[in-house]
Amino acid sequence: MQPSQSDLAARSLRAVWHPCTQMKHHERTPLLPVARARGAWLYGPDGGRYLDGISSWWVNLFGHSHPAINAAVADQMATLEHVMLAGCTHEPAVALAERLSALTGRTLGHAFFASDGASAVEIALKMSFHFWRNQGEAAKQEFVCIDNGYHGETLGALGVTDVALFRDAYGPLLRHAHRVATPDARQAAPGESAADVATRALADVSKLFEDRAGHLAAIIVEPLVQCAAGMAMHDPEYLRGLRKLCDEHGVHLIADEIAVGFGRTGTFFAHEQAGIRPDFLCLSKGISGGYLPLSVVLSTDRIHAAFYADDLARGFLHSHSYTGNPLACRAALATLDLFDSTDALVTNRKRFDSLEKALSPLAAHPHVAHLRRRGGILAFDVREEGSLVEGTSAEGRCAERRPTDASFARRYAANALAAGALLRPIGQTVYLMPPYVLDEEEITLLADATLTALAQTLESRT
């Protein structure tokens, strides 16, 4: 017999310490037990089903339990489950590195594998610093990050993350980075365009670079959408400007496409929309189709060459035990095959146009501001009467802004679940980032659940 939902939830709360969670809040907010999943759907042990409107924290691309990825992982499991990647190599890691390089026009031809997004960010930071040291520019030790940016929660990644709720408690442990203005297009004054906001934000970078470039190793940016900030979107002009400033001042450009890569913004990589290439590209989340932990940092010939020497200590002596795990690499290769076989970037355009259209009633909604979209990421900010928080608050991926049970995000999430969709607003921002498999019926259902949950949440506001 299946355990009942409440049994499983109770056992979980006793034995499992859940991520990004104040555990006490689960005294009142139930956990969602998931027994199995297929396509866009999660199924509870008691038969309920929920459309995964946020791709399970932005990792899933082609639906859950996809037959082609299942087959690839099963085949790999029967052949080679894992071997260390120091001194050894294997076809899945090599093939994946080659294909990712090809996807960058062979400009980022060196793949350093790791296990999750935060470790990819750590690697890019360490590599940038070490590059400058190997070049005889040891003073270049500092990093630059962008207001409201999010790059993960290990200590190095937190140092370049500007989400107070995650960072402040650990402040004394961190090596803080310089922060520059966000290009968030929501800051546009009346009559201003998103490109104008980008230009203003670039002036801030330019000033810092002029003062400090001799000490700066790299700037890290989430291209086009600062996701954990509440899907803050910016004009591609910002990335073009960053590239130019980085070239002029000798500062590395690290593109953190852990969330926005793999087609999420409409192009395969987000930075393509600016017509630029970064010096380092961090990838994770969707890379394995949402199956297994895997990340990679891609870098240029120039970076790689600076470490290539007889001297051991000039090498990049960083490692994780499961680096380049063959099962994860095979899941990634099968995911790349699905981009080709489903013509995903093209079919997604139609799919997300449709979803945008289904959400169009929100444009005139009196409590909704900044309805926006970039590729397959759709978002809007909700103003509750008397509690207008202009949607620039960065609360990261924790749903709550305030530790109160009445918070908008938690009430909204509960209402959405009751309407059949898994959604997790960030503060006052509701967003949709579903997998690339929704048909018209599922699009209608997701849009209806989004609107219904909004109406109910506003009705029940306290």
Q: How far apart are CA 331 and CA 287, in angstroms?
A: 8
Helices (H), 224-325: 237-249, 301-307
Tokens of 33: 């037990």
Measured from the CB atom, the residue of 55 and 348 that comes closer to ligand PLP is: 55
Site string for ligand PLP, 218-257 (x = CB under 6 A): ----x----xx---------------------------x-
CB of 150 to ligand PLP, least distance (A): 5
Specify whether the backbone of 284 is left (phi greater than 0), alpha (psi in -120 to 50) or beta.
beta
Contact between 150 and ligand PLP per CB under 6 A: yes
Phi, psi of 186 (to 5 degrees): -65, -15
Does 118 help bind ligand PLP (rule: CB under 6 A)? yes
* Amino acid identity for residue 323 in this structure: T
The stretch near ligand PLP (CB under 6 A) out of 9-17, 114-122, 359-367, 453-461 is: 114-122
User: Smaller CB distance to ligand PLP: residue 255 or 359?
Assistant: 255
Name the minimum Å distance from CB 277 to ligand PLP: 18
Verify binding: residue 381, ligand PLP, rule CB under 6 A.
no
Q: Rule CB under 6 A: choose which of 73, 93, 116, 367 binds ligand PLP.
A: 116
Helix (H, G, I), strand (E, B) or coil at 110: strand
> Smallest distance, Å, CB 352 to ligand PLP?
19
DSSP element (H, E) containing 352: helix 344-358
By CB under 6 A, is residue 52 in contact with ligand PLP? no
Site membership for ligand PLP, residue 259 (CB under 6 A): yes
Segment interacting with ligand PLP (CB under 6 A) among 33-41, 146-154, 198-206, 424-432: 146-154
Stretch that binds ligand PLP, among 37-45, 145-153, 302-310, 410-418 (CB under 6 A): 145-153
Instruction: Pick one of 273, 284, 323, 348: the residue that binds ligand PLP (CB under 6 A).
Output: 284
| Per-residue contact string for residues 306-335; x = within reach of ligand PLP by CB under 6 A | ------------------------------
CA distance linking residue 220 with residue 224, whole number of Å: 13
- Phi/psi at 43 (nearest 5 deg)? -120, 130
**Whole-number Å distance between alpha carbons of 312 and 272:** 36
Q: How far is the CB of 214 from ligand PLP (least distance, A)?
A: 28
Give me the least distance between CB of 360 and ligand PLP, in Å please.
28
Q: To the nearest whole angstrom, how small is the minimum distance from the Cβ of residue 314 to ligand PLP? A: 28
H or E segment at 444? helix 440-459
Using the rule CB under 6 A, is 294 a contact of ligand PLP?
no
* In the complex, least distance from residue 161 CB atom to ligand PLP, rounded to whole angstroms: 8
Nearest CA to 335 out of 293, 288, 291, 376 is that of 288
Residue nearest to ligand PLP (CB): 117
Q: How many CB atoms lie within 10 A of CB 30?
A: 14
Cβ of residue 258: shortest distance to ligand PLP, in angstroms? 4
The single residue among 152, 159, 263, 375 that binds ligand PLP, judged by CB under 6 A, is 152
The Cα 287–Cα 295 span in angstroms is: 7
The neighbouring-strand residues paired with 369 are 381
Q: Which of 121, 220, 338, 378 is the binder for ligand PLP (CB under 6 A)?
A: 121
**Closer to ligand PLP at the Cβ: 122 or 442?**
122
State the Cα–Cα distance between residues 350 and 265, nearest whole angstrom: 13
Contact between 294 and 115 (Cβ < 8 Å): yes
- What is the radius of gyration, based on Cα positions, of the chain? 22
Q: Which is nearer to ligand PLP, 259 or 328 (CB)?
A: 259
> Judged by CB under 6 A, does residue 151 bind ligand PLP?
yes
Which 166-205 residues touch ligand PLP, going by CB under 6 A?
none
Q: Which is nearer to ligand PLP, 12 or 154 (CB)?
A: 154
Residue 299 CA to residue 107 CA, distance in Å, equals 8
* CA distance linking residue 377 with residue 152, whole number of Å: 20
Contact 137, 218 (CB under 8 A): no
Query: Does residue 394 interact with ligand PLP by CB under 6 A?
Result: no
Taking the C-alpha atoms of residue 372 and residue 439, their distance in angstroms, rounded to an integer, is: 21
Distance CA 7, CA 1 (A): 12
78 is written with which tokens? 């029967």
Q: Rule CB under 6 A: say whether 117 interacts with ligand PLP.
A: yes
Residues making contact with ligand PLP (CB under 6 A): 116-118, 121, 150-152, 222, 227-228, 256, 258-259, 284-285
